[in-house]
């Protein structure tokens, strides 16, 4: 059965991998709407391949008139009203949100304000800053949410509906600096921070993986997705075990596969059917290297400490965690602070926040914007 799909963030890393799967299965999916930020050259390629697209959301308003003239059969929209229009036009379409950062929150919430929708969520920041609100909308509107994230996809596959799990074991490669001391981190520059030993990812998430902020976000994400607070992070450099679940009888069930987001996308695009794909390759146990595991040292990875704090506080702290990270990562890339200072400054700005529960998009965005402005002002005055 052909299924319509909306892709937010179609020009990014996850969006492009999703298009690979969709294009290789033309009888299963048709794209009806996409959003891109400013990569017009990639958009044009998408439009040439997918003639079923009827609405395009643009991050750059200056391109709207030009593209409308070039593609008169497609409606080009911008801003929040444009996102609303996309979702209203295709109320039964599957939605993939592959926008990175806080910008992905609005499409997530607007999707879930609809009824009987299925959302494939690659934007983990949505759950970090608005997990309770998202869970309420899932229940109220009979929606489904599936996480496009290798660890949370693994946990999802390991859960047993008849036996509640006692602990989530969240794996982390440790990034390129896993074996470096805190003193070593003081010498890290931008070029080194943008290398990842296992995954091919965008610039922002690569840096977040190196600081372990990304893993901190995944702790909060897992907490909201699976309603479990006992979450242990295990360093596993080979990234073959994507995460695991422990049960009351001390049995541990894990999911293993080659590290590939195509595996995650393929799994949830076809869920509950497991569909073969030419993109996916099995593990070769004749060549498989030794798998190693080590519990993450919280004194070494302060970002994990900050994430665990967020589980016991109102969401203003998690909003500060994300807003500070986004701003300080940019400040690092501008050469104003050192790599090792990113997480220390995140902690500093989190400590300035008054605990409070923010219950809608406007409240969350207002605090997010205030924190980002305050951080920029802080460094402009130094």
Sequence ranges of the domains in the chain: 3-147, 150-298, 313-381
What gap in Å lies between CA 65 and CA 122, rounded to an integer? 30
Note whether 330 and 305 are within 8 A (CB). Answer: no
Note whether 110 and 136 are within 8 A (CB). Answer: no
CB atoms within 10 A of CB 239: 21
Specify the pairing of strand 118-121 against strand 144-147. parallel
Is 15 one of the annotated binding-site residues? no
Q: Directed axis angle between helix 341-350 and helix 361-380, to 10°?
A: 120
Is 229 one of the annotated binding-site residues? no
Note whether 311 and 220 are within 8 A (CB). Answer: yes
User: Could you tell me the two tokens for 311?
Assistant: 């589980």
Is 236 one of the annotated binding-site residues? no
DSSP string, 61-119: GGGHHHHHHH-TTSEEEEHHHHHHHHHHH-TTSEEEE---SGGGHHHHHHHHHSSS-EE
CATH of domain 313-381: 1.10.1740.10
Phi, psi of 134 (to 5 degrees): -60, -45
User: Could you tell me the two tokens for 44?
Assistant: 């044009």
Is 59 one of the annotated binding-site residues? no
Phi, psi of 115 (to 5 degrees): -115, 145
Note whether 172 and 183 are within 8 A (CB). Answer: no
Is 210 one of the annotated binding-site residues? no
Is 143 one of the annotated binding-site residues? no
Rg for the chain, CA atoms, rounded: 21
Question: Which pLDDT belongs to residue 230?
Answer: 98
According to DSSP, residue 24 is labeled: T
Question: Which pLDDT belongs to residue 174?
Answer: 82
Alpha-carbon dihedral angle through residues 371, 373, 379, 382, given to the nearest 10 degrees: -110
What gap in Å lies between CA 165 and CA 248, rounded to an integer? 7
The pTM for the full model equals 0.94
Closest residue by Cα to residue 173 from 85, 106, 118, 241: 241
Is 173 one of the annotated binding-site residues? yes
Question: Which pLDDT belongs to residue 194?
Answer: 59
Q: What is the topology classification, in CATH, of domain 3-147?
A: Rossmann fold (3.40.50)
Question: Which pLDDT belongs to residue 195?
Answer: 60
Is 104 one of the annotated binding-site residues? no
State the Cα angle at 319 between 318 and 321, rounded to 5°. 60
Is 312 one of the annotated binding-site residues? no
Note whether 317 and 310 are within 8 A (CB). Answer: yes
Full pLDDT tens readout for the chain, 382 residues: 899 999 999 999 999 999 999 999 999 999 999 999 999 999 999 999 999 999 999 999 999 999 999 999 999 999 999 999 999 999 999 999 999 999 999 999 999 999 999 999 999 999 999 999 999 999 999 999 999 999 999 999 999 989 999 999 999 998 766 666 666 566 666 566 656 455 455 678 889 988 999 999 999 999 999 999 999 999 999 999 999 999 999 999 999 999 999 999 999 999 999 999 999 999 988 887 789 999 999 999 999 999 999 999 999 999 999 999 999 999 999 999 999 999 999 999 999 999 999 999 999 999 999 999 999 999 998 7
Is 12 one of the annotated binding-site residues? yes
Beta strands in the chain (DSSP E): 3-8, 29-36, 55-58, 75-78, 94-97, 118-121, 144-147, 167-172, 231-235, 241-246, 252-256, 294-295
Is 347 one of the annotated binding-site residues? no
Q: What is the CB-side half-sphere exposure of residue 307 using CA atoms within 13 A?
A: 28
Is 215 one of the annotated binding-site residues? yes
């Amino acid at each position: 059965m052909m299924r319509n799909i909306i892709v937010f963030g179609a020009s990014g890393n996850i969006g492009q991998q999703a298009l690979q799967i969709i294009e290789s299965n033309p009888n299963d999916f048709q794209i009806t709407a996409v959003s891109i930020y400013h990569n017009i050259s990639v958009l044009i390629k998408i439009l040439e391949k997918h003639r079923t697209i009827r609405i395009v959301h643009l991050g750059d308003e200056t391109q709207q008139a030009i593209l409308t003239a070039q593609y008169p059969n497609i409606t080009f929209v911008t801003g929040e009203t444009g996102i609303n229009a996309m979702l209203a036009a295709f109320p039964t379409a599957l939605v993939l949100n592959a926008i990175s950062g806080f910008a992905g929150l609005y499409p997530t919430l607007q999707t879930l304000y609809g009824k009987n929708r299925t959302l494939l969520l690659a934007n983990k920041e949505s759950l970090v800053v608005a997990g309770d609100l998202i869970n309420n909308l899932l229940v109220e509107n009979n929606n489904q949410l599936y996480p496009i994230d290798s660890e949370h996809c693994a946990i999802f596959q390991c859960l047993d509906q008849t036996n509640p799990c006692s602990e989530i074991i969240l794996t982390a490669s440790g990034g390129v600096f896993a074996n470096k001391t805190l003193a070593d981190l003081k010498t890290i520059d931008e070029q080194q921070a943008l290398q990842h030993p296992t995954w091919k990812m965008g610039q922002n998430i690569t840096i977040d993986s190196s600081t372990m902020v990304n893993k901190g976000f995944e702790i909060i994400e897992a907490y909201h997705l699976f309603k479990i607070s006992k979450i242990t992070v295990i360093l596993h450099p080979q990234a073959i075990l994507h995460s695991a679940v422990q049960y009351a009888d001390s049995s541990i069930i894990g999911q293993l596969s080659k590290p590939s987001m195509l595996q995650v996308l393929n799994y949830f695009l076809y869920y509950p059917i497991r569909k073969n794909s030419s993109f996916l390759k099995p593990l070769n146990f004749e060549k498989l290297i030794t798998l190693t595991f080590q519990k993450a040292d919280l004194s070494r990875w302060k970002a994990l400490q900050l994430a665990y704090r967020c589980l016991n506080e109102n969401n203003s702290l998690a909003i500060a965690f994300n807003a500070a990270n986004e701003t300080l990562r940019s400040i690092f890339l501008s050469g104003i602070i050192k790599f090792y200072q990113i997480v220390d400054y995140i902690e500093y700005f989190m400590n300035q926040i008054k605990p409070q529960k923010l219950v809608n998009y406007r409240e969350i965005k207002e605090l997010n914007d205030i924190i980002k402005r305050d951080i920029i002002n802080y460094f402009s005055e130094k």
